[in-house]
Amino acid sequence: MPVPRITHVRMLEDDAATTWISRWWPTLYEADPRATAYQSPQWVTAWLLQLPSSSSPVVMTIADEGGVSAALPLARHRTGATDVISALTPYAEYNDLVGPGARHPYIAQALAADLDQFLQDGQNPELAHVPTSSALGRALDGRSAWHATRTRTALVPLPLDWEVLPGNQRRQHAKRERRIRAGHAITYARTRTTGELLQMQPELERLHAARWAPAPRPSTSQPDWGAVLNELTDTTAFIATITIDGALAAAQLCLYRGTTCWSLRPAMNPGAARLSPGHLLLRRLIDDLSSHGFTGLGLGRTAETDGQTGYKEQYQPRWSTALSFTPTRQPPRPA
């Protein structure tokens, strides 16, 4: 019979959380080679600095006999009668524990029990985009206190052998290539320095705004992506671009760690839609990453209703699932 592990969960808030993240997050990240760039110190710090005055940082640490084994960065949002506690990094494609013990079930179970206790204490925790395969995802999934919403995620294994794609997909890619090569000058580029990254960021935002201009704007304030990229630097992020006949047609903000890359913020010029610049950029990016030894390109969460599944299927991804957890009932209000 396995011996129960002694664990201790601690919650730090406000300045204590900020100081702890600044001091210890790089150590936890380096000790966890399976953590993604969405758990990197650069990414966590960038969103820590983006918190509005009505929110404050929270970090939950889980220790065992050997010391702190994993941690999870959160934020408390004061919205009225009940605070909401959610992931610190709202634009992360994946949220998960970080640290040498992040894959241990007993560590994740200890955190899940504390999140359950939050509900009993009248608080309102929620946690989005936790990989189903993670220890934390398994620990929370199926608990009566939580409702889980599932979203498919896509990862393209690299290198991608275009010749082994199904015939209809090969023909589609070839058709797009012929169309774009007929009388058009194409240039692919990828930022290599922090200066290039920051210089290209406003151009990506311009494309993004043009692409989504008809969509209703969310009521919440938008992040300062320039400030975010200033924290990420070229050690964690790059922007890949395609220009057609000298005009920027598509851009894609990506994060990376080791030999894995994650597409975070793609944008296309709607005026160039007939030339499929998004596909053109993705094909060039896949070949570029493959030639530099990358083994995977994450295409992120996939909405089932707006054509994303068919779009990503053309690159033969491996599909997995992310879970978003919300309470099954509203927490009781404190007396």
Query: How far apart, in whole angstroms, are the C-alpha atoms of residue 127 and residue 90?
Result: 10
> Tens digit of pLDDT for each residue in 123-145?
889 999 999 999 999 999 989 98
In this structure, the answer to whether residues 139 and 270 fall within a common structural domain is no
Which whole-number Å values give the CA distances from 214 to 12, 73, 209, 211, 278, in the listed order? Answer: 42, 34, 9, 8, 19
**CA-closest candidate to residue 158, choices 65, 29, 292, 254:** 292
| 301 occurs within a structural domain | no
Place of tokens 């494309």: 207
Q: What is the pLDDT of residue 220?
A: 58
> Tens digit of pLDDT for each residue in 186-207?
999 999 999 999 999 999 999 9
**CA-closest candidate to residue 322, choices 181, 176, 191, 130:** 130
Query: How far apart, in whole angstroms, are the C-alpha atoms of residue 256 and residue 263?
Result: 9
| 311 occurs within a structural domain | no
> Tens digit of pLDDT for each residue in 221-241?
689 999 999 999 999 999 999
Query: How far apart, in whole angstroms, are the C-alpha atoms of residue 293 and residue 52?
Result: 39
Which whole-number Å values give the CA distances from 74 to 41, 43, 85, 140, 150, in the listed order? Answer: 14, 13, 7, 16, 21
Q: Which one-letter amino acid corresponds to residue 72?
A: L
In this structure, the answer to whether residues 139 and 193 fall within a common structural domain is no
Distance of CA 34 to the CA centre of its chain: 14
Q: Which one-letter amino acid corresponds to residue 206?
A: R
**CA-closest candidate to residue 141, choices 154, 129, 132, 151:** 132
- Specify the number of domains making up the chain: 2
Note whether 264 and 254 are within 8 A (CB): yes
In this structure, the answer to whether residues 209 and 88 fall within a common structural domain is no
- The parent domain of residue 181 ranges over 159-213+224-294
Mean per-residue pLDDT, 2-17? 84
Note whether 16 and 79 are within 8 A (CB): no
In this structure, the answer to whether residues 95 and 207 fall within a common structural domain is no
Q: What CATH number is attached to the domain comprising 257?
A: 3.40.630.30
Query: How far apart, in whole angstroms, are the C-alpha atoms of residue 155 and residue 296?
Result: 6
Taking the C-alpha atoms of 84, 63, 140 and 333 in order, what is their torsion angle to the nearest 10 degrees?
A: -30
Question: Helix 14-30 to helix 41-48 angle, to the nearest 10 degrees?
Answer: 160
In this structure, the answer to whether residues 44 and 80 fall within a common structural domain is yes
Note whether 218 and 238 are within 8 A (CB): no
pTM of the full structure: 0.91
In this structure, the answer to whether residues 93 and 110 fall within a common structural domain is yes
Q: What is the pLDDT of residue 330?
A: 65
